Structure 1
Amino acid sequence: MKLDKNTVAKIAHLARLEVNESEEQSLLKDMNNILSFMEKLNELDTTGVEPLIYMTDEVNVFREDVVRQDISVEEALLNAPMADESFFKVAKVIDKPTA
């Protein structure tokens, strides 16, 4: 299968890409190279080859949740630039809407 300029233009349009003439020629060459490589892969005999779903045989390689020492409110507020007794103070970021 060979692609032509119209197909590249259609793909660029669908991808919402602006492609100039020199880029179009480069893309056409690259896409045709990719397709010819895929055609080579289709020539391989893959009977008896299991499809690869995951790169490893590991299953659920997650660490266990471990409860660690919590910090107190006072410790959390020590490095805060602005704080009151138990809250961080931050600059106002939402204004009232004007009617």
Structure 2
Amino acid sequence: MTNDRFAPIGHQGRRPQGLLAPLMWLGGMIATAVALTVGAVLAVFTAAAVAFIALFAGVLVFFAGLAMRARGTVSVKAQRDGDVIEARKVGNTWVTYGWERPGR
């Protein structure tokens, strides 16, 4: 029995001996390289997806801004056009028809 208090936790320190040791070391290195490659590919796909979402969110906000600006322009124009329904020039003056003052 050892006096090391961490000895019962995890790996006990037994390493393979003989011809099996280099093969296990090589297998561990290959598994590590494959795991790093898969992680790097997934990181690239994740970054591309985030960039794609950010691009389309920016386009959506741009078109929403254009729509809001167009809506404001149309509503202001509609308010101005609603005051006079019809106007004709009679002589040197303009005569309007269908216009009523509020409160009359």
Considering only CA atoms, is the larger Rg found in Structure 1 or Structure 2? 2
The TM-score normalised by the length of structure 1 is 0.29
- Higher RCO structure, 1 or 2 (CA under 8 Å, sep 6+): 1
Structure with the larger strand share: 2
Structure with the larger helix share: 2
